[in-house]
Chains A and B, each alone.
Chain A
Amino acid sequence: MIVTDGLTKIYGQTTALSNVCLEVRKGEVYGLLGPNGSGKTTAIRLLLGLIRPTAGRASVAGFDCWTQSVAVRELVSYIPGEIRLIGSMNGYLMLKYLSDLRGGESLERAVSIAEKVMKLDLGRKIRAYSTGMKQKLAIAQAFADPVDILILDEPTSALDPSARNDVIQLVKAARATGQTVIFSGHVLPEVEAVADRVAIMRKGRLMHVEDMHERRSSARILLLRFSGQPPTSFPENLDLSIREVQGNVLLVEHRGEVRTLLEWLATQPIDDMAVGTDDLRSLYDRYHGPNVDDLALDALQDSTSNTDNAAPRAF
């Protein structure tokens, strides 16, 4: 549905996005994770044809995002990270304006979402709305639009917890109706709750793409305390990767067969162990955590292709 190939954006001396190759499938919720300045918004603006790629290309449903951007925007509804609405309009007129720019079909549904789900008073002037209320209004419009794709750039950043939950439910409902959603954000549990796949961005690069279904079902974390020196390598068939080493304690991630793992563990000088499931935080921290070795990540990324299929898995 959405494909980028070597997508790059350079502003003067700054590389905002570097050689990004990704593919978002029809009907999936695709999470985009990364701190400020990691290239998420640049990627989104390139998809919408608001900025021109320096190199590479992006397409949505076969339409080139720069040369056929109007056709792309026919298919896409977008919530920007920082919502700016027209202060002199009231909520209803704002929805009507946005709806009319897409043919006017979505007004009734937008009003319904705004009033019933977001609990907004549409008679009030936008300038009297709080930031969160403006965000809710934009969300109501985006989810009402008759489009195939929703691009949500930090859609919950100004929302209260209950409204955040409403947005999560709306995203799930959108997926259920076959819409494709790109969900960019900082709040990991939210992305984790809805995303089918998650891409982690760092310094304009796509570092890793994780299938969340696979992760939920297969990844487990083991904390192992060895009586002596812990091993530095494992048999390949175990699919173990080291997360952290502290003396004789190892934090490892396991994705392989449980039986094989248990057989191997039985042969090791282990004093104690704990097993848990993995969450998105641990994955995110691999690239943005406090112990990240920037140089090692850069070097590794330079030596791999920047795609969602060939990204590095462990360090």
Chain B
Amino acid sequence: MFLVMVRKQIRDSRWLLGILALAFFSLSWLTVYMAHGFERLITRGELGPGIQGRAGFLRGLGGSAQDYSTTGLEVCWWNHPFIVLTILGWAVARGSGAVGGEIERGTLDLTLSRPVPRWEFLASQIIATMFGLAVLALALMLGNLVGSQFNVVKNPPGFEVLLRPALLVFALGWAIFGYTLPFSVIDSVRWRPGIFSLGATLSGLIALSLVSQLDEFWSWLKYMTVFQWYAPMAAAVKNQDLLWNLSILGSIGLVGIVISFLSFQWRDLPSSS
């Protein structure tokens, strides 16, 4: 029964997931093509440390860990708003729809009037979300690996190098999903937990971007967002803080999910009418 529900959840979101995965694959391939172009500029001395212009743009993407290796030039794009916001959107959509959305649509009754334990239903939602996040992370890796076959770059990152930022992509989605889910589990509509989670996450993102411009007193603000621990460049280029960041993001998600299981087990499930 568990797999039946997992299949159903994946089936429900297969088109959106497929389109997003294709977009990630294409974007990742494109980053290899762009890395090829950047490397030509570096060779001509038009890009590199100390050179203004495009280098500033790259540092804006890659952050303090940005370097001019092929890996750095490619993985810095994994901080691009398109990727970050897509992961955010997927995680919030899955989290807010898991229970609140199902009650709103009236399909929760359909499932839970069958001999299905509540925890199993919730677990199926979690597994389906993890599957989606894994597909998106894999699409980024595959786009890069395939792109390297068709574009000449100096030192294309291998599977192991790409796996590190891919794990962070997965963990970021997991954490956001994790703190969205408890709100969905106690609600009967989708929009409320969705807006709450989106609002909180985007506020955190904005706070993180502002914190460097504020004085020391406000430095605690950076811990108000999960993006503080999303550092794909550092993970790919320097293999730095990966386990720590994964642990923090994983724990945030896990705490939310444990709370969700406990809440869902005891709550009343109202009819959708």
* Residues on the B chain within 8 Å of A48, using CB: 113
Q: How large is the interface on B (under 10, 10 to 19, 20 to 34, 35 or more residues)?
A: 20 to 34
Contact of A86 among B110, B112, B117, B272 (CB under 8 A): B110
CB of A147 to closest CB in B, whole Å: 9
State whether B113 touches A73 (Cβ < 8 A). yes
In chain A, positions 68-91 with a C-beta closer than 8 Å to chain B are 70-71, 73-74, 76-78, 80-82, 84-86, 88
* Residues on the B chain within 8 Å of A41, using CB: 271
Tell me whether B155 is interfacial, beta carbon within 8 Å: no
State whether B114 touches A98 (Cβ < 8 A). yes
CB of A33 to closest CB in B, whole Å: 19
State whether A74 touches B4 (Cβ < 8 A). no
Tell me whether B273 is interfacial, beta carbon within 8 Å: yes
CB of B100 to closest CB in A, whole Å: 15
State whether A51 touches B114 (Cβ < 8 A). no
* Residues on the B chain within 8 Å of A101, using CB: 1, 4-5, 111, 114-116
> In whole angstroms, how far apart are the Cα atoms of A52 and B265 in the complex?
11
Tell me whether A172 is interfacial, beta carbon within 8 Å: no
* Residues on the B chain within 8 Å of A52, using CB: 266, 268
Contact of A82 among B113, B115, B116, B272 (CB under 8 A): B272
Tell me whether A102 is interfacial, beta carbon within 8 Å: yes
- Say yes or no: A81-B271 contact (C-beta < 8 A), given A88-B12, A100-B1, A100-B4: yes
> In whole angstroms, how far apart are the Cα atoms of A97 and B5 in the complex?
8
Contact of B273 among A51, A73, A82, A97 (CB under 8 A): A82
> In whole angstroms, how far apart are the Cα atoms of A45 and B5 in the complex?
22
* Binary contact readout B247-273 vs A (1 if CB under 8 angstroms, 0 otherwise): 000000000000000000010111111
State whether A45 touches B271 (Cβ < 8 A). yes
CB of A146 to closest CB in B, whole Å: 12
Tell me whether B241 is interfacial, beta carbon within 8 Å: no
State whether A81 touches B8 (Cβ < 8 A). no
State whether A102 touches B115 (Cβ < 8 A). yes
* Residues on the A chain within 8 Å of B12, using CB: 86, 88
Tell me whether B192 is interfacial, beta carbon within 8 Å: no
- Say yes or no: A73-B114 contact (C-beta < 8 A), given A81-B273, A86-B12, A101-B4: yes
- B interface residue numbers (CB < 8 A to A): 1, 4-5, 8, 11-12, 105-107, 109-117, 266, 268-273
Nearest 9 Cβ contacts at the A-B interface:
A84-B106, A101-B114, A51-B268, A82-B273, A78-B113, A100-B4, A74-B115, A73-B115, A50-B269
- A interface residue numbers (CB < 8 A to B): 41, 45, 48, 50-52, 70-71, 73-74, 76-78, 80-82, 84-86, 88, 97-98, 100-103
